[in-house]
Structure 1
Amino acid sequence: MKTTVSFKNDELVGIANTLGQFKLKGKASLGRSALIRKLATKQEEYISDRVGIQQKYFEADKEGNLKTLDDGSEKLIPKPELADDKDPSKLGKDHEKKLNSEMNELSSDLSNIDFSEYSARFKALKASLDDYPYELDKGDAVAYSRVYDQLEEAFSKSSKEEE
């Protein structure tokens, strides 16, 4: 049986960074490390997908690396046929809207992380988060909540399926 958690693509880095700061030991620490590795893999996929979208709108070299302006701004160079008529260093308005829409959709897409093989470690992580003794604020509290809620949901689903 697969046990999964899901996070939005644009949450991956923040969640991994926050988890890395938690003071955990034993199996909970091992579970955290496994989750961080899986989040890093999903983040790499997300970055690759972002580049894939950008390559549709901006110039790239033969290796697929996006080209930037020579002015030091690191601003991407629009494909000539998609550039703004008045300012060729910018995308045309319609193309910019399409690009932004695709990027926003990708950012909101869910990355599903299977952790069936590490189930005991993830259960220990959830148990440690149940009684996490340290105070969290702002972004750390949000990341904690997202991870905890996902683990709680995953384990409640798996226990219902076992019944």
Structure 2
Amino acid sequence: MKTTIEFKNSELAGLANVLGGFKLKGKASLGRSVLIRKFAKKQEEISDDLVDIQKKYFETKEDGSLRVFENSDGKLIPKSKLADKKDPKKLGEKAAKELDDEIKNLNNEVSIINFSEYSPRFKALKVALEDYPYELESNSAIAYERVYDQLEQAFSKGDK
């Protein structure tokens, strides 16, 4: 049995939100709760990575936090060497593209969730999703498919 499942970083928040709304009982509910907690932990790591990326392009304070313009609803201050020459409150075109590319790469990276110590709970979640009696639409159906497919792949490896 494979004891990991994989999701793109950009999927984690949506999957957690949708899974939270599923009607599950017992071990399946416990498995869902563990999975949501693992998603949240990964999202914290991704958020830290995002801040590290932003620090390459934007000014920081002495404490390492990002600087923002006063009265700007959190608009970050570009590093002077990367700022647009005509509008220094914005990143230059090249820097903005590089930042965008780095963020896209971060969002497309795969988060690997290890669940070996919670295997019975994840197995119960897989079984519950397999026979899920409620109709799902749009984002819920997509989240269901992504999670179920990953669990099915993980547990099918051990059945052979």
Cα offset, 1:98, TM superposition? 0.6
SS at structure 1 position matched to 2:139: helix
AA aligned opposite 1:27:
K
1:85-124 equivalences under 5 Å are: 85-124=85-124
Cα offset, 1:31, TM superposition? 0.4
State the match for 2:73 in structure 1: 73
Identity %: 61
Q: CA RMSD in A?
A: 1.1
The C-alpha deviation readout for 1:83-128, integer Å capped at 9, x for no partner, is: 0111000001111111000000000000000001000100000000
State the match for 2:19 in structure 1: 19
State the match for 2:146 in structure 1: 146
AA aligned opposite 2:133:
P
Q: Is the 8 A contact 1:3 1:158 kept in 2?
A: no
Q: Is the 8 A contact 2:53 2:99 kept in 1?
A: yes
Looking at structure 2, the residues matched to 11 and 100 of structure 1 have their Cα atoms a distance apart, in angstroms, of 18
Looking at structure 1, the residues matched to 19 and 9 of structure 2 have their Cα atoms a distance apart, in angstroms, of 16
Looking at structure 1, the residues matched to 6 and 73 of structure 2 have their Cα atoms a distance apart, in angstroms, of 35
State the match for 2:41 in structure 1: 41
SS at structure 2 position matched to 1:5: strand
Higher mean alpha-carbon deviation, 98-107 vs 56-65, is at 56-65
Cα offset, 1:72, TM superposition? 2.6
Aligned residue pairs total 160
The C-alpha deviation readout for 1:53-108, integer Å capped at 9, x for no partner, is: 00100011122211111133321110001101110000011111110000000000
Structure 2 length-normalised TM: 0.96
Looking at structure 2, the residues matched to 94 and 136 of structure 1 have their Cα atoms a distance apart, in angstroms, of 43
Where does structure 1 lack aligned partners over 5 or more consecutive residues? Answer: none
Cα offset, 1:3, TM superposition? 0.3
Higher mean alpha-carbon deviation, 94-103 vs 71-80, is at 71-80
Structure 1 length-normalised TM: 0.94
Looking at structure 2, the residues matched to 73 and 154 of structure 1 have their Cα atoms a distance apart, in angstroms, of 44
Looking at structure 1, the residues matched to 27 and 73 of structure 2 have their Cα atoms a distance apart, in angstroms, of 46
After superposing on structure 2, the runs of 4+ consecutive aligned residues of structure 1 that deviate more than 3 Å are none
